[in-house]
């Protein structure tokens, strides 16, 4: 099922959470809402779910106005940031909850409920934990139970609020891939909120980058990364160096050279700090002329070749300079 | 490796055991002081009640507590608690729900209103009802004309008790519900729960221990309330006397054995309440 959000506005007191936001999510698409905290991404997600009402604008689901339905009747699966598992129910009963609620006429028979829940527990690979209570599970396990609970009612749309926010780095990566595979199997529209650009770029089909209640840009990860619409998007998607107030360059797009190889127009800088652990080497520099700090990222090979040490003077040449209008502040 | 093994085999250094404790003299004198205060103000009076109650033996005790007036007082107290507690259960849950889960104008006023019965002397609480429903009160003439008696009758006692015990359930639940937030309720809604399903399947199970705790306290106070009830009751023996009022009447009649016998009943209720309270606090 497709979701379309049209001209949504939402204000909390004097605070404008969303200003005229429009976005379309096609069936089978996994869309990331990416932005800093306070950018309105969670509010937008809650409006799609029906947990919040927009001040103006509409939410269409399969072309039908969904704003007249409450959260209860929208048939969305929602995974909360802190999971919101029912603490007094076991894993099994948490997952069965949505099915058991239904009126007799539409409720599947007990045996079918049990089968469906078992299947979901197997799917989330927690087969042996069905009788546990939420407080007996680890963060990653809770997260998966929350997802299974949302999927049990066969939602038409899956909405996830910072789904991996509270997990440690390794579990996070694992669950991320798992979510991607799961989404592809289910063929539903999914939206997830994150403030982690790496996560958004790695998992999603499309990224909508939000800032101060507006969508700054939306497109495929490659599109937004390669052709950022403005300085905010560019800066939010990775580290940047700023030249002359409006020209930006990524640390990996700075070439370093020993001073004798001095080329005309190059910037002279001195090495302040070297972080040599990892696949690339990060070099912190300070410009000799203006005193401004620069970050450069070079390959290990290049680093060995240059044999840099703290205090050395180098020339810095930007390979790929981007100029944006000095509009949105970060 | 060798060093690691060596450190394991090394004799354990005895840990000083008194890093964070005061000298024995201070500890013992404080403990004795606390125990003495406890004994003097709590244990001794409690023991005294039972000693006095049984002073003239079992037979006298049984006679005292099975007197028709005493039975009537027990019945009235039970009736009062039986109405006041369920009312406050419903009011308390509704008020706590509204305060903990929603934001609305006048929320602070509501919180303050809930606390009024705690802040006001019970005698004033009783007087309020006399001023409103008494013969000289606002509704007095109308009530008289329709032959309805509130003051110096059972309805007044129930009203006053309900008022005085109003905060117990709500006060217990508000912080609990606030700390739990509304995410679980929202999750239930998204999964298709109706308002009632959400309440009975999620909210109620989550607050049940706190709710029981509040109900226990509310019941104890309903049975034990003296001040407010005393003002509105009229002290008619066998008709408008609750247990605490009956104790006073017997005492004023110089019937000490009887007074303490009835008082012992209230003390037993108090002890049961404490036991329940402790059990519920642990269950929570």
Contact A72 B192 (CB under 8 A): yes
Residues A183 and B197: their CA atoms lie apart, in Å, by 30
Kindly report the number of other CB atoms within 10 A of residue A319's CB atom.
10
**Which residues of chain B are within 8 Å of residue A50 when distances are taken between CB atoms?**
190
Measuring CA to CA, how many Å separate A293 from each of A16, A282, A299? Answer: 35, 13, 20
pLDDT at A3 over 70: yes
> CA of B190, closest CA in chain A: separation in Å?
5
**Which residues of chain A are within 8 Å of residue B186 when distances are taken between CB atoms?**
51, 71, 78, 80, 84
Kindly report the number of other CB atoms within 10 A of residue B255's CB atom.
15
Query: What average pLDDT does the structure give for chain A?
Result: 88
Could you read off the pLDDT of A240-279 as tens digits, one per residue?
888 877 788 888 888 888 876 556 667 888 899 999 888 8
Closest CA to B125 of B225, B241, B269, B212: B225
Q: Which of A74, A86, A98 faces B202 most closely, judged by CB atoms?
A: A86
Predicted-complex ipTM score: 0.83
For residues B157 and B76, is the Cβ–Cβ distance under 8 A? Answer: yes
Q: Which of A50, A74, A86 faces B184 most closely, judged by CB atoms?
A: A86
Virtual CA dihedral for B243, B248, B252, B256, nearest 10 degrees?
Answer: 70
Contact B190 A51 (CB under 8 A): yes
Q: Which residues of chain B have pLDDT under 50?
A: 1-11
> CA of B201, closest CA in chain A: separation in Å?
9
Q: Which residues contact A249 (CB under 8 A, 6 or more apart)?
A: A240, A241, A243, A318, A319, A320, A321, A322
Cα nearest neighbour of A74 on chain B: B190
Kindly report the number of other CB atoms within 10 A of residue B118's CB atom.
11
Contact A84 B183 (CB under 8 A): yes
pLDDT at A314 over 70: yes
Region of B89 please: left (phi>0), alpha (psi -120 to 50) or beta: alpha
pLDDT of res. B68: 87
**Which residues of chain B are within 8 Å of residue A51 when distances are taken between CB atoms?**
186, 189-190
**Which residues of chain B are within 8 Å of residue A77 when distances are taken between CB atoms?**
190
**Would an 8 Å CB–CB cutoff place B101 in contact with chain A?**
no
pLDDT of res. B2: 41
Selected residue of B187, B198, B209 to mutate for chain A interface (largest A Cβ count, 10 A) = B187
Task: Tell the burial category of A31 from Cβ atoms under 10 Å away from its Cβ (0-12, 13-18, 19+).
Answer: buried
Question: In the numeric block, which tokens belong to residue B210?
Answer: 């706190």
Count A/B contacts: CB-CB distance under 8 Å.
58
**Would an 8 Å CB–CB cutoff place A48 in contact with chain B?**
no
Q: Which of B197, B205, B206 faces A101 most closely, judged by CB atoms?
A: B197
Could you read off the pLDDT of A5-55 as tens digits, one per residue?
999 999 998 888 999 999 999 999 999 999 998 899 999 999 999 999 999
Which pTM was predicted? Answer: 0.79
Question: In the numeric block, which tokens belong to residue A12?
Answer: 């909390």
Residues B188 and A71: their CA atoms lie apart, in Å, by 10
Question: In the numeric block, which tokens belong to residue B44?
Answer: 């001794």
**Would an 8 Å CB–CB cutoff place B193 in contact with chain A?**
yes
pLDDT of res. B15: 55
Span A72-82, average pLDDT: 90
Selected residue of A53, A82, A101, A156 to mutate for chain B interface (largest B Cβ count, 10 A) = A101
**Would an 8 Å CB–CB cutoff place B82 in contact with chain A?**
no
pLDDT of res. A145: 93
Contact B191 A76 (CB under 8 A): no
């Amino acid at each position: 099922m497709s979701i379309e959000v049209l001209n949504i506005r939402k204000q909390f007191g004097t605070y404008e959470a969303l200003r005229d936001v429009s976005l379309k999510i096609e069936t089978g698409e996994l869309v990331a809402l990416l932005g800093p905290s306070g950018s309105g991404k969670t509010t937008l997600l809650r409006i799609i779910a029906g947990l919040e009402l927009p001040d103006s604008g509409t939410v269409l689901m399969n072309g039908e106005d969904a704003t007249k339905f409450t959260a209860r009747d929208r048939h969305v699966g929602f995974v909360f940031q802190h999971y919101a598992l029912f603490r007094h129910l076991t894993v099994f009963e948490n997952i069965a909850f949505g099915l058991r609620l239904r009126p007799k006429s539409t409720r599947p028979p007990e045996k079918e409920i049990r089968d469906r829940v078992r299947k979901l527990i197997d799917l989330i690979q927690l087969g042996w934990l069905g009788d546990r209570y939420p407080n007996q599970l680890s963060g990653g396990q809770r997260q998966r139970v929350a997802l299974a609970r949302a999927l049990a009612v066969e939602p038409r749309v899956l909405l996830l609020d910072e789904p991996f926010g509270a997990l440690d780095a390794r579990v996070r990566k694992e669950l991320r891939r798992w979510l991607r595979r799961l989404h592809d199997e289910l063929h539903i529209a999914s939206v997830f909120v994150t403030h982690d650009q790496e996560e958004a770029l790695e998992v999603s089909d499309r990224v909508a980058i939000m800032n101060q209640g507006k969508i700054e840009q939306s497109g495929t990860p490659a599109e937004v990364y390669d052709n950022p619409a403005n300085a905010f998007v560019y800066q939010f998607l990775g580290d940047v160096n700023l030249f002359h107030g409006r020209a930006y360059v990524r640390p990996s797009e700075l070439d370093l050279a020993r001073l004798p190889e001095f080329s005309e127009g190059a910037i002279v800088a001195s090495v302040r700090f070297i972080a040599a652990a990892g696949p690339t080497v990060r070099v912190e520099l300070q410009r000799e002329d203006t005193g401004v700090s620069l970050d450069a990222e070079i390959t290990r090979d290049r680093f060995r070749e240059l044999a840099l040490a703290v205090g050395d003077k180098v020339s810095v040449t930007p390979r790929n300079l981007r100029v944006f209008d000095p509009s949105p502040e970060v | 490796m060798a060093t690691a093994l060596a450190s394991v085999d090394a004799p354990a250094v005895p840990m000083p055991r008194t890093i964070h404790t005061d000298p024995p003299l201070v500890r013992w004198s404080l403990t004795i002081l606390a125990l003495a205060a406890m004994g003097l103000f709590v244990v001794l009076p409690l023991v005294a009640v039972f000693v006095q109650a049984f002073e003239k033996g079992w037979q006298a005790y049984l006679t005292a507590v099975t007197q028709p007036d005493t039975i009537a007082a027990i019945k009235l107290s039970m009736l009062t608690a039986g109405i006041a507690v369920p009312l406050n259960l419903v009011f308390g849950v509704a008020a706590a729900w509204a305060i903990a889960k929603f934001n609305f104008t006048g929320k602070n006023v509501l919180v303050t209103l809930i606390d009024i019965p705690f802040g006001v002397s019970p005698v004033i609480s009783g007087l309020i009802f006399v001023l409103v429903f008494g013969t000289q009160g606002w509704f007095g003439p109308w009530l008289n004309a329709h032959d309805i008696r509130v003051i110096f009758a059972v309805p007044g006692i129930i009203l006053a008790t309900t008022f005085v015990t109003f905060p117990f359930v709500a006060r217990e639940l508000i912080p609990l519900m606030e700390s739990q937030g509304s995410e679980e309720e929202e999750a239930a809604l998204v999964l298709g729960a109706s308002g009632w399903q959400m309440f009975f399947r999620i909210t109620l199970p989550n607050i049940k221990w706190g709710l029981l705790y509040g109900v226990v306290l509310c019941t104890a106070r309903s049975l034990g309330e003296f001040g407010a009830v005393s003002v509105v009751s009229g002290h008619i023996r066998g008709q408008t006397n609750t247990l605490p009022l009956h104790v006073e009447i017997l005492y004023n009649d110089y019937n000490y054995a009887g007074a303490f016998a009835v008082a012992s009943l209230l003390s037993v209720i108090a002890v049961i309440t404490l036991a329940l309270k402790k059990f519920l606090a642990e269950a929570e």
